[in-house]
Amino acid sequence: AGCSGGGEGGQAAAGEDAITVGFSQVGAESEWRTANTRSVKEALVAPDFTLRFSDAQQKQENQIKALRSFIAQGVDVIAFSPVVETGWDTVLREAKAANIPVVLTDRAVNVSDDALYATLIGSDFVEEGRRAARWVIEDSQGKDGPIRIVELQGTVGSAPANDRMRGFKEVIDGDSRFEIVRSQSGDFTRARGKEVMEAFLKAEGDGIDVLFAHNDDMAIGAIQAIEEAGRKPGTDIRIVSIDGVRGAFEAMKAGKLNATVECNPLLGPQLADLIREVHAGREVPKRVMVEEGVFTQDQADAELPNRKY
């Protein structure tokens, strides 16, 4: 192996046995995603790993191209966070034919044969949706219906959008006071979250009681739209979102966001361990879950200094 240490900036050189990993990331659409990218890049380092990183800019076609290029380069392991759930069978078969194991991070796929990937490490998005709904119900104690909810969905066809929608609806449907009056995608970005919220406000006027956003960034965009419409976010419209990024804690401290459901993006170290196992040909669980909780406004001040993303 030899040459450890050295190099510029004190960075270790890749060892002879370094595992070459091709990682295809979704994009840089949210605070969650930038924290996730940082975590992956910090974990997959020399001397144990050589990382080839590719950003798909939220487009599946770019991801498929990146995976094909990793296959052509003959990387040891492919890891990727699939933009959407469907449409992966062909390229995953190509990886399998080339004997390159695939580790899914963060988002799930919908494939005909689960043997097309080795394992998935990520959060339970259905449970996150349920948690958001339970918070809404708790927050609405003693209130009469109808309580009108608008929903900002994540990227159409993505696992977190599909699952968070399903989990939220499952719980909210059990309480007849609630009605989801509008539901549309804001693509997990602040800019789209703001635009779609503007359209909701235009269509519904004062008739919106609750906003459920599939991520914090869209909620933060929507908060701006609500303020520009002359209403008070967090008061006139109660707001819950998902991720638990720093921006959400700051919005909670300012009284503008009411609650955030945690979704931990710091998967790098666990991903590195899984890649090692898979590369060594050892048996791994098909699904590895990340543990997380829910935070409310009254906890924001105390919790903010502890946040790592």
In the complex with ligand GYE, the residue whose CB is nearer, 148 or 214, is 214
How much of the chain is in helix, strand and coil states, percent to nearest 5? 40, 20, 40
Distance of closest approach, residue 263 Cβ to ligand GYE, in angstroms: 5
- Could you say which DSSP state residue 277 is in? H
Which SS3 state, helix, strand or coil, does residue 228 take?
helix
Question: Do the beta carbons of residue 248 and residue 220 sit within 8 Å?
Answer: yes
Closest separation between CB of residue 32 and ligand GYE, Å? 4
31 versus 209: smaller Cβ distance to ligand GYE: 31
In the complex, least distance from residue 122 CB atom to ligand GYE, rounded to whole angstroms:
7
Fill in the DSSP letter of residue 233. Answer: B
Q: Nearer to ligand GYE by C-beta: 81 or 140?
A: 81
Residues contacting 200, CB < 8 A, separation 6+: 150, 182, 184, 208
CA-nearest of 241, 27, 32 to 153 is 241
Nearest to 103 by CA among 93, 117, 114: 117
- Which residue in 263, 258, 188 sits closest to 221, CA to CA? 188
Closer residue to ligand GYE, CB minimum distance, 35 or 71: 35
* Shortest reach from residue 83's CB to ligand GYE, in Å: 9
- Kindly tell me which of 107 and 182 has the beta carbon lying closer to ligand GYE: 107
Cβ-contact 45, 12 below 8 angstroms: yes
Taking the alpha carbons at both ends of the chain, their separation in whole angstroms is 35
CB of 171 to ligand GYE, least distance (A): 18
Minimum separation from the CB atom of position 5 to ligand GYE (A)? 36
Q: Which residues bind ligand GYE (CB under 6 A)?
A: 29-30, 32-33, 106-107, 160, 188, 215, 217, 242-243, 263
Closer to ligand GYE by CB, 94 or 127: give it.
127
Minimum gap (Å) between residue 98 Cβ and ligand GYE: 27
- Could you tell me where the DSSP H helices lie in the chain? 31-43, 60-73, 89-97, 125-139, 159-172, 190-204, 216-228, 246-253, 268-279, 297-303
47 vs 265, which CB is nearer to ligand GYE?
265
Question: Do 244 and 216 touch, CB atoms closer than 8 A?
Answer: yes
